[in-house]
Amino acid sequence: MSKNPLTVIFEANIFNGTNYNDWLRNLRIVLDFENQTYVLDRSLPRALLEESTHEERLTFEKWLEDNRKYDRHDDVQSIMLRMSQIYAVPDRHIRYAAIKAFFGARMIEGYSIQEHEVKMLSLVEKLKDLKANLEKETYIDVILQSLPLSFDSFTVNYNMNGLDKDLHELINMLVQYEATIESAIGGRGFRKSERQRRRTLEEEEG
């Protein structure tokens, strides 16, 4: 027997009193698939009357049925309101922290480009969810600026040729670039040589 979607998300993302915003975001994703997000946002439909239409009766009964899946003693909207008042962190604070992390991210030389870009993509999705209202070009620019010296040639080529890719296409290009250079120079020798070049540049600048 399959588990209720709330049970699954509670097991994978247990609410601990400090992660309300992330927990609620994941909860909404699951409920969206079940078309039941409305129980978080809408109040109980008005009580049925003798003259209530068939459609109103169906709506009322469906709300009760969906609501009972998640709590037996209170309506879900009231529960979520109380939780929000106690635990919610203002989106502005979360957005500020996410923007700071995104613009300040730097890939360490020798680190996997794929792992770095997964981290950057996660921040991008979080910023979009928080309605940071950044342009696609800004996301691209920040990602390119986060790369180490070993990707300078890629960045110059990308900008000089006026390439216009979405984020996933850009990441695929970066992964291919890393693989091509490593193959040509000899695996880790690429990363090692780049570290040496960077150290030399730092010594010259110093």
pLDDT tens digits, residue range 82-131?
A: 545 544 556 777 888 899 999 999 999 888 898 898 889 889 988 988 88
Sorting pLDDT into bands at 50, 70 and 90, what band is 146? very high
In this predicted structure, what is the pLDDT of residue 200? 46
Question: What are the CA-CA distances from residue 7 to residues 10, 47, 143, 175 (Å)?
Answer: 5, 30, 37, 37
Question: Of 87, 103, 129, which one is at a domain's C-terminal end?
Answer: 87
Question: Of 71, 87, 103, which one is at a domain's C-terminal end?
Answer: 87
In this predicted structure, what is the pLDDT of residue 3? 55
pLDDT tens by residue, 14-36: 666 667 677 666 666 555 545 44
74 and 113 together in one domain? no
105 and 169 together in one domain? yes
73 and 60 together in one domain? yes
129 and 66 together in one domain? no
Question: Of 87, 104, 131, which one is at a domain's C-terminal end?
Answer: 87
Q: How many domains does the chain have?
A: 2
Query: What whole-number distance in Å separates Cα of residue 103 and Cα of residue 123?
Result: 10
Nearest Cα to Cα of residue 101 among 129, 123, 80, 131: 123
Cα of 73 vs its chain's centroid, Å: 33
200 and 99 together in one domain? yes
Residue 176 makes CB contacts below 8 A (sequence gap 6+) with none
DSSP code at position 72: S
pTM over 0.75: no
97 and 199 together in one domain? yes
44 and 116 together in one domain? no
22 and 121 together in one domain? no
Which residues span the domain enclosing 45? Answer: 5-87
110 and 198 together in one domain? yes
Task: Please state the rounded mean pLDDT for residues 79-84.
Answer: 51
